[in-house]
Amino acid sequence: MPEDQRDAEINRRIDENLRKVFQEQVEEDLPDRFKLLLDQLRKQDGDDGEDDQA
Amino acid sequence: MSDTDPREEIVEHLPALRAFAISLTRNGAMADDMVQDTIVKAWTKFDKFRPGTNLRAWLFTILRNTYYSNRRKTRREVADVDGIFSGNMAEKPAHDGHLQMAEFRTAFAQLPDEQRETLILVGASGFSYEEAADMCGVAVGTIKSRANRGRKRLAELMQLDEDEAMEMTDTVTVGVVSRNGASAF
């Protein structure tokens, strides 16, 4: 196999693995803390910023 | 209160954002802290987001800027890595997909931050070289060279540059053989 063709094949396999590793992480369940954080942020907006003490 | 707050769209990108954070930090706890920071910044400074541009790219940019600014502050090049280098994977033949992926993750974790980041952006997340350059604040040529060096190093670590690796079947695609085993020379 010519060298550049071989390199392209190697890169293709590497990218395939990168996508697999990344996808596995994407599919993990999100920790609850992010849902709670978003609830807090929404609530803060609901207060209309009038009492920033919260 | 309007029907839909445009910021609600942030939620859809959280799994990818967290995956990016894990790849960048190689540490689950640090990754989650950075995702948390990013959510707060994005939510409270949403006026800085230009509508019609890529929201995922914007979120990734906030996260990586946070990461590099922390790295500068702590003057620490290498983050604490959770169990990435554990086990004796190199001594076992990689005849199954799980081992093979574990080997790949180990190799990937050894790359410098900038190369890991670039490969996740252009290799795994489907951003173009131009988008990645924009997100990282560098020239397109720099992104290309980081991607090339990163792929080359991974190929070396995985011994993909050996001819025999290319003859392996699909199940052992990233043909990993013992690092202690047959040398090419």
- Average pLDDT, rounded, for chain B: 81
* Phi, psi values for residue B38, rounded to 5°: -65, -40
Query: Residue written as tokens 């190929």?
Result: B155
Q: What is the pLDDT of residue B74?
A: 77
- A28 and B19 within 8 Å at the Cβ level: the answer is yes
Domain boundaries, chain A: 3-46
Residue B59 near residue B135 (C-beta atoms within 8 A): no
- Where helices occur in B110-139 by DSSP H, the ranges are 113-118, 129-136
Residue B135 near residue B64 (C-beta atoms within 8 A): yes
Closest residue, chain B, to A39 (C-alpha): B8
Point out the residue among A6, A18, A25 whose CB comes nearest to the CB of B119: A18
Q: What is the pLDDT of residue A33?
A: 96
The enclosing H or E element of A42 equals helix A32-46
Least confident of A3-12, B68-77, B93-102, B161-170: B161-170
- B104 and A6 within 8 Å at the Cβ level: the answer is no
% of chain B residues with pLDDT over 90: 64
Grouping H, G, I as helix, E, B as strand and the rest as coil, residue B64 is helix
Q: How far is B70 from chain A (nearest CA, A)?
A: 21
Point out the residue among B23, B158, B166 whose CB comes nearest to the CB of A1: B166
- Give the amino acid at B115: Q
The domains found in chain B, sorted by start residue, are 1-82 (1.10.1740.10), 86-185 (1.10.10.10)
Question: What is chain A's alpha carbon radius of gyration, rounded to the nearest angstrom?
Answer: 23
Residue B174 near residue B104 (C-beta atoms within 8 A): yes
- Average pLDDT, rounded, for chain A: 85
pTM: 0.78
Please state the separation of Cα A30 from the chain's center in Å: 10
Q: How far apart are CA A19 and CA B104, in angstroms?
A: 12
For B71-94, the pLDDT digits (tens) are: 888 765 554 555 544 443 444 444
- Examine the pLDDT at A48 and tell me if it is beyond 90: no
Q: How many Cβ contacts (< 8 angstroms) between chains A and B?
A: 86
Q: How far is B15 from chain A (nearest CA, A)?
A: 5
Q: What is the mean pLDDT of residues A34-45?
A: 94
For B1-60, the pLDDT digits (tens) are: 557 899 999 999 999 999 999 999 999 999 999 999 999 999 999 999 999 999 999 999
Q: Is the ipTM of this complex over 0.85?
A: no
Per the model's pLDDT, the better-predicted residue between B77 and B99 turns out to be B99
Closest residue, chain A, to B8 (C-alpha): A38
Put simply, whether B71 touches A (Cβ < 8 Å) is: no
Q: How far apart are CA B176 and CA B178, in angstroms?
A: 7
